[in-house]
Structure 1
Amino acid sequence: MSIFTDSMFFGVSITLFTYFIGVWVKSKLKLAIFNPLLISIILIILFLAGSGIPYENYSEGADIISYMITPATVCLALPMYDQMEALKKNAAGVVCGILSGCLTSALCILGCTLAFHFNHQIYITLLPKSITTAIGISLSEEMGGIATVTVLSIIITGIFGNMIAESFLKLIRVTDPVAKGIAIGTSAHVMGTAKAMELGETEGAMSSLSIAVAGVVTVVVAPLFAMIG
């Protein structure tokens, strides 16, 4: 057992196994709250805590999966290419939607900081919460934030967005596929995009585009907000 837990295959195996359990649970219960990623995280924490296996043993292999985040994000350009005509037709609305989404996210963090008296480091740590991890970690570190907390905030944002996106858009009566995709991708990055792709090809393509553009916009906007927080 110790040979296995000390190897790089341990982290990879546990991550994939718990995720597949999450997918199975979601397929059986059909409830948004049973997000596969959330279930996987909980199971991994419980397993490591219960077995006493050091986190370092797990991360040695799990980091391999983390390295796949960037190329996996790049692959999201494929559905965007297929929907290029829709993108050209709605270019102005797409840009305005993503820009307003990024500004709204930053304003919400600023508002929470003022309301709950977060210190400045926590404030700048949370500013990249709505962009993909690949960009968010680097941005947080450059601004002086805590990268691990940034990752946690990004994961929570993505899971929450994935869970409520469809219901919330129905509640506020957003029916346009382009608007749905932009809203989901800008607010909930890759995890939200997974939900957008379930809604339709156009939604998925626009959400994929939003990840890249929102990342670039946030790299500019976040440091500006960091100076006023």
Structure 2
Amino acid sequence: MEEIINNPTFGILISIVMFEIGLYINKKTKLAIMHPLLISIGLIIGVLLIFDIPLDSYEKGGDMISYLLGPATVILAVPLYKQFHLFKQNKKPILIGIIVGVLTTITSVFALCKVFSYEQELLYTLIPKSITTPIGIEVANSIGGIPSITVVAIVLTGITGAIIAPIILKLFRINDKVAIGIAIGTSSHAVGTSKAMEMGEIEGAMSGLSIGLAGIITVLFSSLFVRILELFM
């Protein structure tokens, strides 16, 4: 049994099985809160706790899945390529929207950390919460954050965005497909983009575009923000 648990295949297999269960529950309940990723995370944690399986054993396979996140994100370029003419037609509002979204994320994290008196290290950890995991981990490392907590924040942000995006869009009567894609991609990265793709090809393409641009802009602004913060400390 120990040989099976310590095999990388174990972590990969349990991740796939739990995600498939999450998909099944999501389709049956049709509830936004029953997001497959959220369900699979809970199930995996439950299995590890109930059977007393060390996290290190799971991560031998789980880390392989994390490694593939970067290459998998590249596939989002396919719908973008098909809708690239929309980017050329709307490049100014798209770039402004993404920059404003990134700055809003950074400033809101700073404001909340101040209100709740969080330590500076946690502030640096949460700054990259709205960008895709591979970039977010590197940003957290470079500015002095805690990458493991950053990953948790990124996952929760993505799931939250995917769940509440349709509600927000309906509440504020946002119907423009380009605006929808940019908003979702900038605020909730790849997990949100999967929801945007369900809405339509244009929404998915614009959301996929936002992931890359928001990541680059966050890298630039986060470093600048940290330097400014250090001057006033």
Question: Is this a same-fold pair by TM over 0.5?
Answer: yes
Which residue number corresponds to residue 161 of structure 1?
161
Which residue number corresponds to residue 144 of structure 1?
144
Question: Once superposed, what is the RMSD of the aligned Cα atoms?
Answer: 0.8
Which residue number corresponds to residue 104 of structure 1?
104
CA distance in 2, matches of 1:4, 1:62: 14
Which residue number corresponds to residue 82 of structure 1?
82
Matches within 5 A, 1:31-110: 31-110=31-110
Q: How far has the Cα of 1:191 moved from its partner?
A: 0.2
**1:174-205, CA deviations, whole angstroms, 9 ceiling, x for partnerless residues?**
11000000000000000000000000100000
| Aligned residue type for 2:178 | V
Q: How far has the Cα of 1:228 moved from its partner?
A: 4.2
CA distance in 2, matches of 1:140, 1:154: 11
Give aligned pairs, total: 229
SS in 2 for 1:130: coil
Which residue number corresponds to residue 2 of structure 1?
2
Identity %: 47
Which residue number corresponds to residue 198 of structure 1?
198
| Aligned residue type for 2:76 | L
SS in 1 for 2:34: coil
**1:201-225, CA deviations, whole angstroms, 9 ceiling, x for partnerless residues?**
0000000000000000000111222
SS in 2 for 1:227: helix
| Aligned residue type for 2:185 | G
TM (norm. structure 1) is: 0.98
CA distance in 1, matches of 2:109, 2:62: 30
**1:84-137, CA deviations, whole angstroms, 9 ceiling, x for partnerless residues?**
111111111110110010011011001101111111100011000000001000
| Aligned residue type for 1:86 | L
Gaps of 5+ in 1: none
Matches within 5 A, 1:112-151: 112-151=112-151
